[in-house]
Amino acid sequence: MFISKSIKMSLSMVILMTAFQHVQAHTVLEMPTISDGKKVTNNIDIGHGCKEFPVIGTSVVIPDGIDSTIMTNAADEGGKDGFSGDISSFINWGNKIRLLQNRSVFSEQGEKTVDSNVVGFWSGGGPGVAADLDAYVPFIINPANIEPSSCAKKVRFAIAIADVCKITPLSGISDETAVNLWTPAVGSKYDGLKDSHAYNSPAYLSIERDLAINPLPENCGDGLYVYVEPSAAQVDRDMPIIFNGTQVWPAP
């Protein structure tokens, strides 16, 4: 009797402790790697809330390729070389994203556009995503072609995402209760704190060259990996959520 009671007690303790541990995955793309030249439906996979607080909205910034930082490497790790040319040397990037209407997770959504190019999107409103569950925010990626004359084998974009749990001004952003920042540390206002658990953990989208359809030129050897990060200026410009002409997050 006494033993079974204490087993029950410790079992519920374990369940409780597990619930409050950080065991869930980061926010990522459902399909982090896609093929070049193909239209793909993908999802932002919201990984967890802010501690026990639900995510009530998400804001997404896609590198526009215009003032993005471009780097290359012959191997998919290690040091990266700067590249000062245009992104079109590697891929026909820009305005490839279309938000898919879906009110199952959040009640409102919208695209972010600059010169009628989509550079990100947001979705928010309603009761939000339970802190211990995942949720999908769907979008379309229109075909992006790796430049046939280039040596690019894979182009990896760092996507900046803010999962908002509480609406605060920029000064109130913390991953304790308010926001999870899945952003590349590029010096923007949304880098987050260096000791936060998701520091410099953006979501990535890799576009892989379909070598059967778009083979590497002979002089390319094993090909090049290309990395694209948004500029700090772009993240600062495109991260806020504007709803009906009014900025709703961060609170102005």
**Contact flag: residue 189 with Cu ion (CB under 5 A):** no
Report in angstroms how near the CB of residue 26 gets to Cu ion at its nearest.
5
Nearest to 206 by CA among 44, 26, 35, 78: 35
User: 22, exposed or middle or buried, with CB in 10 Å at 0-12, 13-18, 19+?
Assistant: exposed
Q: Which stretch binds Cu ion (CB under 5 A): 20-28, 91-99, 145-153, 210-218?
A: 20-28
Question: Whole-number minimum distance, CB 25 to Cu ion, in Å?
Answer: 7
CB of 175 to Cu ion, least distance (A): 8
Rank residues 26 and 98 by Cβ distance to Cu ion and give the closer one: 26
Only segment of 26-34, 75-83, 152-160, 226-234 that touches Cu ion (CB under 5 A) = 26-34
Instruction: Select 65 or 192, whichever has its Cβ closest to Cu ion.
Output: 192
Single-letter code of the amino acid located at 213: I
The span of 19-27, 28-36, 223-231, 236-244 binding Cu ion (CB under 5 A) equals 19-27
Strand partners, 110: 122
Query: Hey, is 174 helix, strand or coil?
Result: coil
CB-wise, 26 or 189, nearer to Cu ion?
A: 26
Indicate whether 26 belongs to the interface with Cu ion (CB under 5 A): yes
> For Cu ion, which is the closer residue by CB, 26 or 80?
26
| Least distance between Cu ion and beta carbon 197 (Å) | 6
**Residues in Cβ contact with 39 at an 8 Å cutoff, skipping those fewer than 6 apart:** 140, 141, 142, 143
- Other Cβ atoms less than 10 A from the Cβ of 124: the count is 23
In the bound state, the residue with its beta carbon closest to Cu ion is 26
How far, in Å, CA of 20 to CA of 174, rounded?
18
Q: By CB under 5 A, which span of 18-26, 82-90, 154-162, 205-213 interacts with Cu ion?
A: 18-26
Query: CA 83 → CA 42, 185, 221, 226, distances in Å?
Result: 29, 19, 19, 9
| Residue nearer to Cu ion on the CB measure, 11 or 19 | 19
Strands (E), 53-151: 55-61, 69-73, 81-83, 97-99, 108-114, 117-129, 135-141
| Minimum distance of Cu ion from residue 206's CB (angstroms) | 21
Site for Cu ion contains 134 (CB under 5 A):
no
Report the alpha-carbon distance of residue 252 to residue 244 in Å, rounded: 15
Total residues binding Cu ion (CB under 5 A)? 1
- Residues in contact with Cu ion by CB under 5 A are 26
